[in-house]
Copies of this chain bind each other. A is one copy, B any other.
């Protein structure tokens, strides 16, 4: 029997689910409401657009609303915001943002894929022109257009996480003077401090003013309301562009108002089928929780890879199949200029706070055979449970080819492999790719 599917949110999770349902059921009615003008875009590509490495925003769009409508028979309605869910009557209240009209739409099965929104500090003048968050494609385009038009010269980035580091590289690439402020003692807090210090060093060496243990307190403007500077608890920093990279929070207002359970982290609580606490309603993507395999609890991690997997699993179950999501390890990867950075599983600080007895090895080696031209440094930090040496986490920084090695460890953790198992794996070696003992295995050997 044909079903009527409604999906709230038209990015990775929502469109992934829609596409999966369409592949399984040619005749089901699938409608997606997306409040922005765009569907299925790569938010992660925005720093590279702003850096000029990607030449226009359209390149970041995987599939347009027209493609979904024409090629997939998925009704992708952009500039439509769902403002209320009625789970008893199984319908949603939708606001057409262009016509400024609202209407009720019924559903048999509903997916909440409302994403996340950037955190903004509650300080005066935070909405001044020239102060941006990066979240939706629209926000990326606004930064890009602002830069084209105003040619800013001094940027302040607030927050030294992934967005902060990637934007620092991008703005440096565009010739700006770049200051990064972070209230912590080090950047990239998903890594341990000993690993982060190499990144701080690399950023400073590239000319970035890195202001640690320093907090944004105010935005300063001139008499014409033009952005002039930021103020921190320590100093005053001239700026004609401010990027806020202070993390995101899940968009759960309508879910919460509908009585759907949230988890501690504020995300919509889902089980391994991506089902919420109310029947016929699933959630996926940045707004939904992800079970952390090692922490054994639901977490809020807003990442494109996870959103895509959520979407596939939710779509599969909504289509009547039986798929489960095993959970996440908190894997992440990025780059600052030549320095590649990756992490997965637990960092030392996390293992400690869980009260887990662990062993740790940190090794320095080279990305290729030491004698091979262009060989550079790689540093691998590997954590294992103390009792059985089961691998529980890793952090890698290094030159070309370093960071993607994290995937070997992701696979090892996913399959509950030990340091001994990892040491003996038949990993690939040739001088342009690795040492004869892959750096990952050198770290594993040290744990054994």
> Which A residues fall within an 8 A CB radius of B?
12, 42, 44-45, 48, 53-54, 59-60, 303-306, 308-309, 313, 325-335, 340, 342, 344, 369, 371-373, 401, 403-408, 410-412, 414-417, 421-422, 424-434, 436-438, 440
Which residues on the B side are within 8 Å of A401 (C-beta)?
401, 404
Instruction: Flag if B436 contacts A407 (CB, 8 Å).
Output: no
Instruction: Flag if A410 contacts B427 (CB, 8 Å).
Output: yes
**Nearest Cβ distance between residue A100 and chain B, in whole angstroms?**
34
Which residues on the B side are within 8 Å of A373 (C-beta)?
48, 53-54
With A59-B371, A415-B412 as given contacts, are A407 and B430 in contact (CB-CB < 8 Å)?
Answer: no
Closest-by-CB residue of B relative to A301 is: B426
Which residues on the B side are within 8 Å of A434 (C-beta)?
333, 404
- The 8 Å CB contact of A42, one of B344, B415, B431, B437, is B431
Instruction: Flag if B436 contacts A304 (CB, 8 Å).
Output: yes
With A333-B430, A334-B430, A431-B48 as given contacts, are A305 and B410 in contact (CB-CB < 8 Å)?
Answer: no
Taken together as a complex, chains A and B put the C-alpha atoms of A424 and B291 apart, in Å, by: 13
Instruction: Flag if A42 contacts B426 (CB, 8 Å).
Output: no
With A410-B426, A431-B48, A433-B333 as given contacts, are A53 and B309 in contact (CB-CB < 8 Å)?
Answer: no
Which residues on the B side are within 8 Å of A417 (C-beta)?
411, 414-415
With A412-B415, A436-B304 as given contacts, are A330 and B426 in contact (CB-CB < 8 Å)?
Answer: yes
Which residues on the B side are within 8 Å of A429 (C-beta)?
44, 303-305, 333
Instruction: Flag if B59 contacts A305 (CB, 8 Å).
Output: no
Which residues on the B side are within 8 Å of A309 (C-beta)?
424
**Nearest Cβ distance between residue A278 and chain B, in whole angstroms?**
25
Taken together as a complex, chains A and B put the C-alpha atoms of A426 and B335 apart, in Å, by: 18
Taken together as a complex, chains A and B put the C-alpha atoms of A342 and B433 apart, in Å, by: 11
- The 8 Å CB contact of A421, one of B48, B331, B415, is B415
Which residues on the B side are within 8 Å of A303 (C-beta)?
429
Instruction: Flag if B426 contacts A344 (CB, 8 Å).
Output: yes
Instruction: Flag if B42 contacts A371 (CB, 8 Å).
Output: yes
12 contacts between A and B (CB under 8 A): A304-B429, A328-B426, A333-B428, A335-B430, A342-B428, A403-B433, A404-B434, A406-B428, A407-B427, A408-B408, A411-B412, A414-B417
**Nearest Cβ distance between residue A334 and chain B, in whole angstroms?**
5
Closest-by-CB residue of B relative to A56 is: B371
Closest-by-CB residue of B relative to A61 is: B371
Instruction: Flag if B414 contacts A426 (CB, 8 Å).
Output: yes
Given contacts A48-B373, A344-B428, A414-B425, 5 further A-B contacts (CB under 8 A): A303-B429, A304-B429, A304-B436, A335-B433, A405-B407
Instruction: Flag if A12 contacts B436 (CB, 8 Å).
Output: yes
- The 8 Å CB contact of A427, one of B331, B416, B425, B428, is B331
Closest-by-CB residue of B relative to A411 is: B411
Instruction: Flag if B428 contacts A404 (CB, 8 Å).
Output: yes
Which residues on the B side are within 8 Å of A415 (C-beta)?
411-412, 414-417, 421
Which residues on the B side are within 8 Å of A340 (C-beta)?
433
**Nearest Cβ distance between residue A61 and chain B, in whole angstroms?**
9
Which residues on the B side are within 8 Å of A403 (C-beta)?
428, 433
**Nearest Cβ distance between residue A392 and chain B, in whole angstroms?**
13
Instruction: Flag if B44 contacts A431 (CB, 8 Å).
Output: yes
Instruction: Flag if B411 contacts A428 (CB, 8 Å).
Output: no
